[in-house]
Structure formats: C-alpha cells, structure tokens
Amino acid sequence: MAKKSKKQQQSGGTPATVALTAAGVEFTVHAYDHDPAHPSYGEEAAEAMGVSPDRVFKTLVADVDGTLTVAVVPVAGSLDLKALAAAVGGKRAAMADPALAERTTGYVRGGISPLGQRKKLPTVLDDSAQAHATVCVSAGRRGLEVELAPTDLAGLTEAVLAPIGRA
C-alpha cells in the first residue's frame, strides 16, 4: 500500500480518501464491522449500510490482452468480461491473479478501491452508475466504503462508461 504520512495514519485515511480530499470532491465515508465469514464483500457492505445493492459497486481487476484493467460494477450483478474487453478496445479479458491485483493496486482483496491506486490502471465504470445521484465503492479497506457522485468517480479514475455489468 502507498506510504501514509503520520497525519494520514492518525486520521485513518486511506489512499482513496486522501485522493478524494485532495481533489476537493464531496464524499461520505461509511464504516461498518466487516465479518470475514460473509460470502460477499459487496453484499455485506450494502446490507451493513442499508443501501440497495445496485448502488454499491465492487472493484474488480481483470487482464485485458495483457493489460491490467479495473472494472467497477454493481454488487447486485457480475462482470461481463467480453463487454469489458470491448469497452477498452481489447479482444479477451480474464480475471487477474488476486496477488497481482493486490500488488498493483496497493489494496487487499475485498478492499480494492478504484481510487488512490498505487499504479493508475485503465478503468471502466458500468454505465448503470449514471442512474444514481450517488454510488458507493470501497474506500480502500474491508469495512470502509465511500459514497460519491458517479460523475466524480468517473472523472477521478478517468473511467470509460460502458455496459459491463450483468444482472
């Protein structure tokens, strides 16, 4: 994970929340007690926050023709790998090795945020995000979500908007 200053460590900031603060974007942090036994990080977040699963988005890392690519899709569905590849002009996509995704983003699985990643990766945000005033994504660790406008999320991650989620 990216090094944190003492001030960031004391405030509990993650690289994602630090990036949001630095960008001057309006956001809300939601913390909840993470249950390691829960079968789905995203569904757990939606339940804990009392938010519809179509407004909570999971961050997945895929390999598109040899390039790691971030896909941000609703937890209520799954990622369409063919659609992801097409969205970035690729031919084939597969889920990335979890250890590689963790090393590259600087986050642990279940806490990977599309924001504040160690290495800037191409990002695709499911276009269903546009239907909501705000969406929630991981704030950089399990049990911590950040809520923000989808336009801000897309802008900060330089995301392509495309229909990459499947119900």
Nearest-CA neighbor of 139 among 47, 34, 39?
A: 34
Rg of the Cα atoms in the chain = 15
Instruction: Tell me the pTM.
Output: 0.90
Angle, in degrees to the nearest 10, between helices 150-157 and 15-23: 100
Measure the CA–CA gap between 72 and 154, rounded to whole angstroms.
10
Per residue in 13-34, pLDDT tens?
Answer: 899 999 999 999 999 999 999 8
Q: Is the pLDDT of residue 38 over 90?
A: no
Residue 12: pLDDT band (50, 70, 90) is: low
Q: What is the pLDDT of residue 9?
A: 36
Per residue in 107-124, pLDDT tens?
Answer: 999 899 999 999 999 999
Q: Is the pLDDT of residue 7 over 80?
A: no
Per residue in 123-150, pLDDT tens?
Answer: 999 999 999 999 999 999 999 999 999 9
Which of 126-151 are b and which e, b meaning 16 or more Cβ less than 10 Å from the residue's Cβ? bbbbeebebbbbbbbbbbbbbbbbbe
Q: What is the pLDDT of residue 37?
A: 87
Mean pLDDT, residues 36-63: 92
Measure the CA–CA gap between 26 and 128, rounded to whole angstroms.
20
C-alpha of 53 from chain center: 14
SS (H, E, C) 115-158: CCCCCCCCEEEEHHHHHCCCEEEEEEECCEEEEECHHHHHHHHC
Q: Is the pLDDT of residue 1 over 90?
A: no
3 state SS of 108: coil
Residue 2: pLDDT band (50, 70, 90) is: very low
